[in-house]
Structure 1
Amino acid sequence: MFDCIIIGGGPAGLNAALVLGRAKRKVLLLDENKPRNAVTHASHGFLTRDGIEPSAFKEAAYADLRKYPNIEWTQVRVGAMTKEQSGFSVQTEKKETYHARKILLATGLKDHLPDIAGIESFYGSSLFPCPFCDGWELRDRPLVVICEDERVLHSGKLIWNWSKDLVICTNGQRFLTDEQKKPFLANGIEIIEEEITALEGEDGQLQNIRFADGQEINRKGGFVAVDLQQAAAFGKALGCTYNEQGGIKTDPFGRTSVAGVYASGDTTFNGPQQLILAAAEGSKVGAGIVIDLVEEEF
């Protein structure tokens, strides 16, 4: 019987494992190893780790966890989990069964890209979802913002911070009013509402955008608004409550609506999806689980 089984080996799950392990707790981390940032060449904004490759970050994290013999982990996909009288049962797709007093869901999110020909070739190389993560590398270049809804009213202004040579593309969606367009046009930001027929370039580097009306523009990178979806449905299977954004609802220490089930990181939709924030939340939730275990035992 483990004190806690953690599902997901991203920064939230890894940091929670470290905190739990240092509290002398018996921990099992189950990681499918299909991270959302697999397409990313480097992660930014994490002090002492700025620019690190995601795979190198994970390798360094496991090096830290190896110091603690009470922390175990394995690369496997979880098939199902059930609540039992004494805790939880977790079954993997390899037909293994593990038992734990607590469950931490740190399964993260997955990106759903706009339906544009060729976009996958550039995503993570010259098209990104977050300017705080990758804006510095694209600074002052001719950039594009691809957004099919009113999120562009925020993202268009924000990305203007990194480059004044900016074009907004709504991919055929005509939702902006003339009044909404005015401040963008006044700041030299072109708005193209025609459907995008193709993104072109080489080796992941965007060079050209084609539109249905025959127009073409040259861009050297940019940002795209993605739809975020839960990477796994374990929260629903266990009966957890979800918030309006589609994240698992938690209190400040990661407790969900189901006793003994916790959630941390991007899967909670509690703010921007950034490496350092997910790791910090994992640390806090790990401490919360320790507190609850001690309260039960004392």
Structure 2
Amino acid sequence: MTNKIYDAIIIGGSYSGLAAGMALGRALRNVLIIDSGKPCNVQTPHSHNFLTQDGETPRAIAVKAREQVAKYENVEFYSGLAVGGEKTEIGFTITTESGENFASRKLIFATGVRDIMPEIKGAADCWGISMIHCPYCHGYEVRNEKTGIHANAEVAFEFSKLINNWTKELTVFTNGQSTLLPEKASTMKAHGIDINEQEIEAFEHTGGYLNKVRFKDGSSVELKAMYVKLPFVQHSDLPEKLGCAFSEHGYIEVDKFQKTTVPGVYACGDNVTPMRSVANAVAAGTLAGAMLNRELIDDDF
């Protein structure tokens, strides 16, 4: 174990973690960013709805961000996976997959989430490209196109209301019997939203871009995009191991300052909110870094 005690260890070096690192670096704090290099948007071709970066590739944004954060000499990087952590008298000790240990006074989890793909051929290949989660991130690019929603029940109704703003050529694919309430289904149909109950065999695509939805009976329909709300799990189990509380939907609970329920531990990014975008991740990371620095000041002054 290194003798150095960092002011903060940030686990996760994507947008939120890097933003937190920049805020702390500029506050003259000694910071270690541990990153395993597995961002959830690795397949996404372009990032949108982020001022000054609209249309840029996620990787280009991340590379530039890391280069800028690395200019702060008091911010260090470690490439690897954090697998263990415990509370100490000083703060925390984090253990990596390779067995190295690092100590810090405070922690930030910017660990993100891992989406669970449906067991449908082509789904994983299309995820983040034409199988999308957010109209604010991707809706403009597929506006007025033949669009689907892979959902059922109340989720299908609420999602169809939202997506109907971007296209009127909209079909909800329930992938089996619809569980929509009759009055909700009638409302959707009144707005021209079709409901397709056929069981899906595959998403036919070219390089991740949807061409057709093929059904188990051999029929198919042409489609340009499919919205879906995927189930997810936390990318790291360390927040749970350290005692962080979680919401009923599986997100790490944080207050308005990005503090978790464990003293000295902050969290930011996709692991705390369903509002998944680069812009939101950066904003949350910046806030977490600033608030952690304020806590250090209060501890020492």
TM-score under structure 1 normalisation? Answer: 0.96
Of 238, 252, 256, the match for 1:234: 238
How far did residue 160 of structure 1 move?
1.3
In the alignment, which residue of structure 2 is the partner of 1:221? 225
In the alignment, which residue of structure 2 is the partner of 1:295? 298
In the alignment, which residue of structure 2 is the partner of 1:142? 146
In the alignment, which residue of structure 2 is the partner of 1:44? 48
Residue 285 of structure 2 is aligned to residue 282 of structure 1: yes
How far did residue 212 of structure 1 move?
3.0
Of 132, 137, 146, the match for 2:136: 132
RMSD: 1.3
- Contact residue 148 and residue 225 of structure 1 kept, 8 A: no
- Contact residue 6 and residue 13 of structure 1 kept, 8 A: yes
In the alignment, which residue of structure 1 is the partner of 2:213? 209
Q: Which residue identity lines up with residue 108 of structure 2 in the other structure?
A: L
1:36 is paired with a residue whose SS is coil
Supply the distance in 2 between the matched residues of 1:290 and 1:239 (Cα, whole angstroms): 22
Supply the distance in 2 between the matched residues of 1:69 and 1:12 (Cα, whole angstroms): 19
User: What runs of 5+ residues in structure 1 fail to find an aligned partner?
Assistant: none
In the alignment, which residue of structure 1 is the partner of 2:38? 34
In the alignment, which residue of structure 1 is the partner of 2:113? 109
How far did residue 140 of structure 1 move?
1.1
1:137 is paired with a residue whose SS is helix
How far did residue 64 of structure 1 move?
1.2
Q: Which residue identity lines up with residue 111 of structure 2 in the other structure?
A: T
* Stretch of structure 1 that moved more, 126-135 or 202-211: 202-211
- Contact residue 149 and residue 173 of structure 1 kept, 8 A: no
In the alignment, which residue of structure 2 is the partner of 1:256? 260
Q: Deviations over 1:169-213 (max 9, x none)?
A: 011142112211112111211101121112213222211112234
Supply the distance in 2 between the matched residues of 1:141 and 1:9 (Cα, whole angstroms): 35
How far did residue 130 of structure 1 move?
1.1
Supply the distance in 1 between the matched residues of 2:130 and 2:15 (Cα, whole angstroms): 24
Supply the distance in 1 between the matched residues of 2:270 and 2:128 (Cα, whole angstroms): 18
- Contact residue 2 and residue 27 of structure 1 kept, 8 A: yes
Residue 193 of structure 2 is aligned to residue 180 of structure 1: no
How far did residue 131 of structure 1 move?
1.1
How far did residue 149 of structure 1 move?
4.2
Supply the distance in 1 between the matched residues of 2:24 and 2:205 (Cα, whole angstroms): 46
Supply the distance in 2 between the matched residues of 1:282 and 1:162 (Cα, whole angstroms): 30
TM-score under structure 2 normalisation? Answer: 0.95
In the alignment, which residue of structure 2 is the partner of 1:161? 165
How far did residue 29 of structure 1 move?
0.3
Of 197, 200, 207, the match for 1:196: 200
- Contact residue 6 and residue 104 of structure 2 kept, 8 A: yes
Q: Deviations over 1:257-284 (max 9, x none)?
A: 2111111111112x41111111101111
Supply the distance in 1 between the matched residues of 2:184 and 2:56 (Cα, whole angstroms): 39
How far did residue 214 of structure 1 move?
4.1
User: What runs of 5+ residues in structure 2 fail to find an aligned partner?
Assistant: none
Change (3 A) 1:173 1:230: farther
Q: Deviations over 1:89-141 (max 9, x none)?
A: 11111221111000111101111122222212222222111111111111111
Q: Which residue identity lines up with residue 279 of structure 2 in the other structure?
A: I
